[in-house]
Structure 1
């Protein structure tokens, strides 16, 4: 069944249903990918979004090879991918010889990177977020490369505006976000050197029932912990929509590569989100702090023009999340740390 706004479920019963929904393609995704020749390789496939992005690609193009590359420290992830017809290759992307031995897929989605624990080993953070992209950009110089980045490369923007569009120069706080600027610059440099087509996907907060801004807020409400609203406004997007837009970018690459913001089109108040989740959960949110006039916010007009609005809207995400958390369904245990203002993760 294709994904449409008219056939979304009222609730998501369990992880299997969640995975199936995240891997359900829309006709628009299928149509875009059919304009792109060749197989798809996902580098760093074992992260939060990688498995379902690869699963979505395979569901949209069942007759094409989809190859997932990672270290696969969790063997269950590799088994999950293989069960869906996705080939897997074990590779440490810091190992130059292993990287160069990978098959040269004409389409590459780069998802490798380091955020959680970034402050604990900053040299590793820079190696993963800037050195590895330089290696990949050279090894796959003849491919299309859609590389995941982050909206955190932007400076804070006024909450009463539209957020940063792609013309705003990166100027972020903290070494994590600075290293992500390094990632972009490496792909940009080698794209110019080798005329490699690509896009830099500046993603703001994907939402999956097991993690994300809404999961963080809902969990705090249930546990009676305070919700800091000093960073009081956010963008976010359903992970399935974010994955679909990333894959569709393969049909909308630029030479040299260029950034594109991927998130929801709305600037949302954390205080309002907490109130709506609290109503559904039957708990009064505990609010701490007060809203600052700026936040990490992006303008997604370019993506909306290319892809249309996300299929899953904010109200449905709130309903799904409240139901999931209320039933004590599984969590990845990886808070987004959306409320952090100093860039230290």
Structure 2
């Protein structure tokens, strides 16, 4: 690994070199810059896709670095970020990275229809956190908005973020759910996400719109994600329940790159593709690894259930290869970030939930 990244590191437009990963990140700015480094494969795939790109829901957890990554990988394209921008600082940051921004409430049909009709759409809007406390909003954002978007941008390619939560829990020790596994969503959040997919499939078939349904679980960066959730609890000395005893994770930069590369692999009507890391990870082992790095006791309770939310990424691996950032690097980075008490988004993944109540 190379030395830690700081704001003085090479420009974010530099290509990502898998053999020169940093040992740690010294700031949020350094982390964001690294997340925005494209691989040559991403540069090539976006070059093969004609036209500009618009990201709907750009102000979420992954949206800003997704937009910056697209801008760096395809500087010849206009990248547009759309959100309500309730936090003006996010809009200012995106503009500083060369991303054009438009403020828009996607629930407003007229405002949505006024957006520019660009050839490439990444749909990254949705509602999960606090979903059980506002089910009506969850369904509106996860099913109604996708219907509006799919109908409005019928002439575009659309890659729509979805979730592995639409799958049933599968047996540990076997391959996780593949794209051919029948959905069996647990709880209203996952049900609404199937609604999202069905809207894109319906309008995709009706209008001949190419697309992909990007089933992701779970993306990782230093400020949020399953690894951050576990590491933070270990650092605080909390006991971790092992009921959901196994998980998949993928570096956020790899997930963003695969989402953008999916624009070159759209189908009509839109078809699903799983996105996560190739390993099935034991939560008990993750706790032990973080406890070792932090030199603190292991505190766990309960026993691992025989099933977990797991996905098979054979299809994505065939198209994109293995993720660039390995698990060992993620463990080291997250442990260091938490030990240094660097910023958190304070948005737990709730990966341990087994009844679908998010």
Range class of TM-score, shorter chain: over 0.9
Equivalent in 190, 199, 207 of residue 177 of structure 1? 190
Equivalent residue runs for 1:323-342 within 5 Å: 323-342=336-355
Query: What residue number does 1:29 align with?
Result: 42
Equivalent residue runs for 1:241-280 within 5 Å: 241-280=254-293
Unaligned runs of at least 5 residues, structure 1: none
| Runs of 4+ deviating beyond 4 Å | none
Matches of 2:297 and 2:69, distance apart in 1: 37
Equivalent in 94, 98, 108 of residue 107 of structure 2? 94
1:96 is displaced (CA, Å) by: 0.2
TM-score by length of 2: 0.96
Residue 260 of structure 1 aligns to a residue whose secondary structure is strand
Equivalent residue runs for 1:231-246 within 5 Å: 231-246=244-259
Partner deviation per Cα, 1:253-296 (whole Å, 9 max, x = no partner): 01110000000011110000111111001112210111000000
Equivalent residue runs for 1:1-345 within 5 Å: 1-345=14-358
Residue 5 of structure 1 aligns to a residue whose secondary structure is coil
Unaligned runs of at least 5 residues, structure 2: 1-13
Contact between 1:32 and 1:251, CA under 8 Å: does it hold in 2? yes
Number of aligned residues = 345
Matches of 2:273 and 2:224, distance apart in 1: 23
TM-score by length of 1: 0.99
Partner deviation per Cα, 1:231-251 (whole Å, 9 max, x = no partner): 000001000000000000000
Matches of 1:282 and 1:105, distance apart in 2: 52
Residue 147 of structure 1 aligns to a residue whose secondary structure is strand
Matches of 1:112 and 1:105, distance apart in 2: 17
Matches of 1:332 and 1:104, distance apart in 2: 32
Matches of 2:159 and 2:229, distance apart in 1: 28
Matches of 1:259 and 1:294, distance apart in 2: 22
